[in-house]
């Protein structure tokens, strides 16, 4: 791990299909890996002293269900015809976790970081993503929490409502370069989670929620993105730079 603060290029992809965003992040991910492989092929030891430029993408996808490598297709409750009739798409992908939903009103974040310049600890990486969401929720007067054995960020049961998941996290690493990320429900249509067993969790005391659901009004997406960007930079201790830097 290097002592210097890392540089991250941020790009809001706005509205983009899952396939387009997947192709983009896969390309950027491979480019970071290629830098390391070229360095070692030339006789270098460890990692280059000059850090790479890491990337962070935010995006809103059209309605799509994605299934992680450890998930079960039984947790998708729609047939192919039903998916098509609703205008939804479905992808099996290589992140961890089970099935989840992405759609309008949700901030999907794809950090593409070489963790050898931050810390080489997968659990710490996931906890750091959770921490950034928890700090964002604090700004809106909500107390995010973790539930042992379950990845993501939750709002704890108040005795009337169950534990409610507001952010799902699923990641994949190759040579310590991160792929995939998190899905933060802001103004998300929660009825779309009814077509799946979200994250494969069937416990009666667990549900999904959104900022809109909890606060009772529609949130300004740009404002929430700004807060979340700031909290991610705080937690990971990096600086944003322009694409031209």
Catalytic residue among 199, 221, 228, 232: 199
Output the six-digit token pair for 163: 């534990």
Task: Identify whether the C-beta of residue 73 lies closer than 8 Å to the C-beta of residue 96.
Answer: no
Output the six-digit token pair for 105: 């009103």
The rounded distance, in Å, linking the Cα atoms of 160 and 84 is 36
Q: Burial, 193: exposed, middle or buried (Cβ in 10 Å; 0-12, 13-18, 19+)?
A: buried
Encode burial over 29-41: b for 16+ CB neighbours within 10 A, e otherwise: beebeebbeebee
The residue assigned the tokens 């935010």 is: 58
Instruction: Please report, for residues 60, 61, 99, 245, the alpha-carbon distance to residue 20 in angstroms, rounded to integers and kept in the order given.
Output: 12, 10, 19, 25
The rounded distance, in Å, linking the Cα atoms of 170 and 179 is 9
Nearest to 58 by CA among 123, 102, 95: 102
**H runs (alpha helix) in the chain:** 18-41, 80-86, 122-139, 211-215, 221-236
To the query of whether residue 199 is one of the catalytic residues in this protein, the response is yes
Neighbours of 23 (CB within 10 A): 11
Active site residues: 199
């Amino acid at each position: 791990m290097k002592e210097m603060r890392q540089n991250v290029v941020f790009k809001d992809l706005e509205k983009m299909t899952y396939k387009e965003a997947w192709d983009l992040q896969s390309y950027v991910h491979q480019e970071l890996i290629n830098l390391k492989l070229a360095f070692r092929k030339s006789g270098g030891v460890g990692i280059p002293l000059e850090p790479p430029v890491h990337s962070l993408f935010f995006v809103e996808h059209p309605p799509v269900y994605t299934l992680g490598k450890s998930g079960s297709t039984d947790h998708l409750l729609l047939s192919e015809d039903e998916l098509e009739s609703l205008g939804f798409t479905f992808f099996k992908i290589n992140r961890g976790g089970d099935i989840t939903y992405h759609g309008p009103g949700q901030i999907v974040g794809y950090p593409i970081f070489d963790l050898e310049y931050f810390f080489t600890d997968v659990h710490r990486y996931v906890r750091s993503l959770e921490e950034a969401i928890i700090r964002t929720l604090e700004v809106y007067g909500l107390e995010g929490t973790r539930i042992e054995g379950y990845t993501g960020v939750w709002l704890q049961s108040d005795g009337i409502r169950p534990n409610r998941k507001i952010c799902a996290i699923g990641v994949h690493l190759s040579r310590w370069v991160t792929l995939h990320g998190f899905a933060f429900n802001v103004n998300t249509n929660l009825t779309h989670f009814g077509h799946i067993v979200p994250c494969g969790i069937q416990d009666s005391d667990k549900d999904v929620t959104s900022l809109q659901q909890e606060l009772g009004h529609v949130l300004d997406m740009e404002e929430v993105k700004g807060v979340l960007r700031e909290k991610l930079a705080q937690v990971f201790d990096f600086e944003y730079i322009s694409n031209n830097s």
